């Protein structure tokens, strides 16, 4: 049986990461394993910023947004010599296994550390929901609720003034926050990297809605697929006649109190990870699939294709614009 486990958060933070950290600490202690926190992701590993975690810390952070142990991006971690430093640090603390909470980039680091002799398990913590083979990632539900509250608020003012709004939503290449947010709020136009409309197509669709005398129109777009959403708003305004404004939701989507569902997922992922590590299993990531907690091989996960949601887009687009 292992005696010490480390936990770190890496990449973009996500609401619910603290609940996962808390569960890793509490599950370790309940199994007689000493838990260690590593500050600021892989950066803290190579800088030897590590400390034993307490139950008091674990119980205080459970409902807080962000990550209480800090996160960072460290591109140098791709270099084997930098990772060797991390292994030396872990060995100097006699930490035999590591829980890495982050996205697919962080998993690649975890996979390489496992190959170098420290068993690692990844927990999917990202608002983007872009970890293939887990139906949901920690943080997605909270961010989605923020998106929905924001679009509802924008809808109020657009309806009052008979306007159109373009709303830009995060996701780092994955359209789920946009698709689910637009579904929950009835956005008339949806465009993501996976199912992209050209600027002209969007302007054309909005002008058809203007002809139907819609009181307001919301265009939900995923980040980084158009050069300038304010320019897109102008184009829509010129074609449709609606006064059109653009809102970039930005980092408000990454913060805030984690939802009950994110905490529930995070805590179960944390327990599941410690249980697998204590059985000597590493090189896997934890996910939820068809309502079951699963541990899957990191390498095959990184190489899997995302689910095709073409039909889901088609139907939501049809009912939301209903020409």
Task: Please say whether the beta carbons of 151 and 167 come within 8 A.
Answer: yes
CA–CA–CA angle 75, 80, 81 (5° rounding): 100
| 108 sits near ligand F6P (criterion: CB under 6 A) | no
Per-residue exposure over 174-211, b if at least 16 CB sit within 10 Å of its own CB, e if not: bbbbbbbbbbebebbbbbbbbbebebeebbebbbebbe
Minimum CB distance to ligand ADP smaller for 76 or for 318: 76
* Span interacting with ligand ADP, options 58-66, 73-81, 91-99, 205-213, rule CB under 6 A: 73-81
| 172 sits near ligand F6P (criterion: CB under 6 A) | yes
Binding mask 260-279 for ligand F6P (x = CB under 6 A): --------------------
Minimum CB distance to ligand ADP smaller for 11 or for 44: 11
β-sheet bridge partners, residue 221: 168, 191
* From 40, 104, 128, 262, active-site residue: 128
Distance CA 137, CA 171 (A): 12
Cβ at position 89, least distance to ligand ADP in Å: 15
Dihedral sign computed on CA atoms, order 117, 119, 124, 126: negative
Distance CA 232, CA 212 (A): 21
171 binds, among ligand ADP, ligand F6P, none (CB under 5 to 8 A by kind): ligand F6P
Sheet strand arrangement including 50-52:
50-52, 34-38, 4-9, 97-102, 119-124, 284-289, 292-297
Q: Is 299 exposed, middle or buried (0-12, 13-18, 19+ CB in 10 A)?
A: middle
Catalytic annotation present for 128 = yes
Minimum CB distance to ligand F6P smaller for 35 or for 102: 102
| 126 sits near ligand ADP (criterion: CB under 6 A) | yes
Binding mask 82-121 for ligand ADP (x = CB under 6 A): --------------------xxxxx-xx--x---------
Number of residues that bind ligand ADP (CB under 6 A): 18
42 binds, among ligand ADP, ligand F6P, none (CB under 5 to 8 A by kind): ligand ADP
Distance CA 226, CA 166 (A): 12
Task: Please say whether the beta carbons of 236 and 164 come within 8 A.
Answer: yes
Active site residues: 128
Interface residues with ligand F6P (CB under 6 A)? Answer: 12, 126-128, 170-172, 223, 254
Interface residues with ligand ADP (CB under 6 A)? Answer: 10-12, 42, 73-75, 77-78, 102-106, 108-109, 112, 126
């Amino acid at each position: 049986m292992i005696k010490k486990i480390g936990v770190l958060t890496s990449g973009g933070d996500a609401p619910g990461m603290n609940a996962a950290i808390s569960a890793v600490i509490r599950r370790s202690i309940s199994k007689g394993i000493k838990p260690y926190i590593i500050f600021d992701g892989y950066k803290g590993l190579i800088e030897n910023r590590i400390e034993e975690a307490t139950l008091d810390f674990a119980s205080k952070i459970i409902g807080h947004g962000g990550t209480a142990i800090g996160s960072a991006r460290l591109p140098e971690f791709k270099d084997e010599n930098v990772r060797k430093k991390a292994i030396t640090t872990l060995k100097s603390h006699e930490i035999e296994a590591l829980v890495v909470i982050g996205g697919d980039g962080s998993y690649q680091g975890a996979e390489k550390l496992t190959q170098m002799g420290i068993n690692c398990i990844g927990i999917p913590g990202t608002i983007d929901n872009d970890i293939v083979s887990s139906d949901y990632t920690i943080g997605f539900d909270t961010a989605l609720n923020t998106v929905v509250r924001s679009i509802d608020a924008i809808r109020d003012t657009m309806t009052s003034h008979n306007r159109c709004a373009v709303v830009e939503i995060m996701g780092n290449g994955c359209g789920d926050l946009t698709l689910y947010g637009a579904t929950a709020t009835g956005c008339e136009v949806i465009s993501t990297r996976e199912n992209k409309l050209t600027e002209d197509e969007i302007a054309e669709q909005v002008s058809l809605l203007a002809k139907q005398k819609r009181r307001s129109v919301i265009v939900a777009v995923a980040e980084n697929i158009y050069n300038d959403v304010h320019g897109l708003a102008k184009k829509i305004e010129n074609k449709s006649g609606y006064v059109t404004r653009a809102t970039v939701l930005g980092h408000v989507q990454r913060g805030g109190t984690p939802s009950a569902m994110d905490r529930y997922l995070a805590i179960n992922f944390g327990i599941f990870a410690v249980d697998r590590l204590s059985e000597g299993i590493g090189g896997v990531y934890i996910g939820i699939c068809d309502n079951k907690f699963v541990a899957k091989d990191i390498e095959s996960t990184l190489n899997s294709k995302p689910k095709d949601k073409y039909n889901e887009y088609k139907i939501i687009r049809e009912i939301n614009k209903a020409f």
